Amino acid sequence: MRKLLRVAGYVVGGLAAVVVLLLAGIYGFSGRRFARTYADLPAEHVVFSSNPEVVARGQHLVEAITKCGECHGPDFGGQLFIDAGMLVGRAYAPNLTSGKGSAVAAYGDADWERAIRHGVARGGRALKIMPSEDFVHLSDADLTAIVAYIRSQPPVERTVPRTALGPLGRALYLAGQFPVLAAERIDQNAAHPAPVPGVTAEYGRYLATVGGCTGCHGPGLSGGHIPGTPPAIPNSQNLTPAGIGSWTETDFFHALREGKRPDGSQINPFMPWTAARHMTDDEIRAVWMYLKSVPARPSGNM
């Protein structure tokens, strides 16, 4: 009996040692990547504005297209926006106002540009769970307007904790299943063309990209499991003609304005239609034209 207990003790001790080494490796490798600094970003020359028309344009973009309040909160004072528990992690969006606890109080024009387009904080470290893979495509004019509007917001006094990933979240990140750092994935030297607003597929593509459609529905827009989301989050819809081929433009308007599918069923609130409903008619039509122009793809291939 004692021999069996001794053997069991060795097995348990060995397993514990393996777990400790595995955790050390996970935290070591992920921590090294989190600590990387980005000092070789392209020099940008975006000059921001307080012009009322620019601020108004920024308000529309923030509320209807880029949906910054979905993560940073309706007052932009920061909040917890992903709570996947201690094993996966908790994501906090920082305070973007000038109030006490602000994460951007010392930010200059170039700092805002790097954070939004490049996913890099002041000081050079990559921002966690910042969708810069979408925002890297923002035009200079739209980026100017977005920052102008956010800077115009009243100060909020709120100190928000930093995003913290647990062992499972870090393991998923290292395995490429949890897209934590946009700075690692985007083309930091991408051009920033100025699209011509209008009811065109080209402008619809721009709106769909900076608006995060590809972030959830995938680069091919065919939907599927959204990387890094818990199992409770439903798969995203196939937005290619293979998935919405029977939809009409009117159906698409109902989906974005009322959150209803053609059969009358409710779209899951994880889909931010309550923000997208504020898009103009022309913007919705442009996105619809773009979706009808993309190649049909089987559902679930992202």
pLDDT over threshold 70, residue 17: no
Q: pLDDT confidence of 215, banded at 50, 70, 90?
A: confident
Distance, CA of 128 to CA of 133 (rounded, Å): 12
Structure tokens at 138: 């923002």
Structure tokens at 278: 């504020």
Judge contact between 79 and 92, C-beta under 8 A: yes
Mean of the per-residue pLDDT values for the chain? 89
What is the model's pLDDT at position 15? Answer: 60
Distance, CA of 235 to CA of 216 (rounded, Å): 9
Distance, CA of 223 to CA of 214 (rounded, Å): 9
pLDDT over threshold 80, residue 68: yes
pLDDT over threshold 60, residue 235: yes
Mean pLDDT confidence for 244-261: 93
pLDDT over threshold 70, residue 222: yes
Q: Which uninterrupted H or E stretch holds 258?
A: helix 249-258
pLDDT over threshold 90, residue 196: yes
Q: pLDDT confidence of 13, banded at 50, 70, 90?
A: low
| Residue range 274-287, pLDDT digits in tens | 999 999 999 999 99
Q: CA dihedral defined by 281, 282, 287, 291, rounded to 10 degrees?
A: 90
pLDDT over threshold 70, residue 228: no
What is the model's pLDDT at position 56? Answer: 97
CB atoms within 10 A of CB 177: 12
Mean pLDDT confidence for 194-220: 93
What is the model's pLDDT at position 97? Answer: 97
pLDDT over threshold 70, residue 266: yes
Q: State the alpha helices, DSSP H only, in 61-210.
A: 69-72, 85-88, 109-113, 132-135, 140-151, 167-174, 182-185, 201-210
Q: Which letter, b or e, does each residue of 259-291 get, where b requires 16 or more Cβ atoms within 10 Å of its Cβ?
A: beeeeeeebeeebbbebbbebeeebbbbbbbbb
CB atoms within 10 A of CB 296: 11
Q: Cβ contacts of residue 51 below 8 Å, gap of 6+? A: 148
Structure tokens at 251: 């159906």
Q: Which uninterrupted H or E stretch holds 16?
A: helix 2-34
What is the end-to-end Cα distance of the chain in Å, rounded?
56
Report the candidate in 179, 96, 187, 196 with the shortest Cα–Cα distance to residue 137: 187
What is the model's pLDDT at position 23? Answer: 82
| Residue range 122-175, pLDDT digits in tens | 989 999 999 999 999 999 999 999 999 999 999 999 999 999 999 999 999 999
